[in-house]
Amino acid sequence: RVVLATTHVALREVPRLLTADVIVGAAEVTRAGLRDWFGIAEPRIALCALNPHAGDGGRFGREDDELLAPAARAAGLAGPFPADTVFVRAMRGAFDAVIAPYHDVGMTAIKVAAFGSAVNVTLGLPFPRTSPDHGTALDIAGQGIADPSSMIEAVLLCADIAQRTRVNGRR
């Protein structure tokens, strides 16, 4: 499970857009989603670093020490941890979700782990909304070669979330 703190923006824009409020907000919506929609009572959430080696004490940028670490503490997140290890740790069960600072670092992890079967879940809505992990694939439309796996998984997960929230008294 990966949550993007920023979405489709140029990499050069990420440091400006990645604020403490954005990180705390992402943590709040992630925690609520994991609790309410996935039944995880005490979610363990990690924050992925922005820079290589989480900045390496300022050698590769100060953002991780000066912005991400204080925001992680304020939001009750673990980290920030380097991108090259945090997703492995999550896949091995150390974390229930990882908040990624920008689109490509988070989506690369998801697609390497589950390309074609991953599902996008929109958090923060009063109802479940899921979608396939890919775009419209207009380049192969009408050819009968599209893999429906991610769409099937999206429908099944949405039904599961809806059932879980109905059973737990939330609608």
pLDDT digits (tens, 9 = 90+) for 92-110: 999 999 999 999 999 999 9
Domain count for the chain: 2
9/92 same-domain check:
yes
The per-residue pLDDT for 164 is 86
Cα(163)–Cα(161) distance, integer angstroms? 5
Q: Are 128 and 156 in contact (CB under 8 A)?
A: no
97/147 same-domain check:
no
144/78 same-domain check:
no
Query: For residue 153, what are the domain limits?
Result: 115-171
Report the CATH number that the domain containing residue 77 is assigned in CATH: 3.40.718.10
65/141 same-domain check:
no
Helix and strand numbers (H, E) in the chain are 7, 6
pLDDT digits (tens, 9 = 90+) for 47-92: 999 999 999 999 999 999 999 999 999 999 999 999 999 999 999 9
Cα(126)–Cα(119) distance, integer angstroms? 18
99/123 same-domain check:
no
Which of 68, 90, 114 terminates a domain? The answer is 114
Average pLDDT over residues 21-44: 96
The per-residue pLDDT for 86 is 98
Residue 147, SS3?
A: coil
Which of 114, 133, 159 terminates a domain? The answer is 114
147/99 same-domain check:
no
100/122 same-domain check:
no
134/164 same-domain check:
yes
Q: Is the pLDDT of residue 171 over 60?
A: no
pLDDT digits (tens, 9 = 90+) for 108-156: 999 999 988 899 999 999 999 999 887 778 899 899 998 889 899 999 9
121/110 same-domain check:
no
The per-residue pLDDT for 169 is 58
The per-residue pLDDT for 46 is 99
69/14 same-domain check:
yes
28/106 same-domain check:
yes
Cα(124)–Cα(108) distance, integer angstroms? 23
More confident residue, 111 or 26: 26
17/97 same-domain check:
yes
The verdict on pTM exceeding 0.85 is yes
Burial class (CB in 10 A: 0-12, 13-18, 19+), 92: exposed
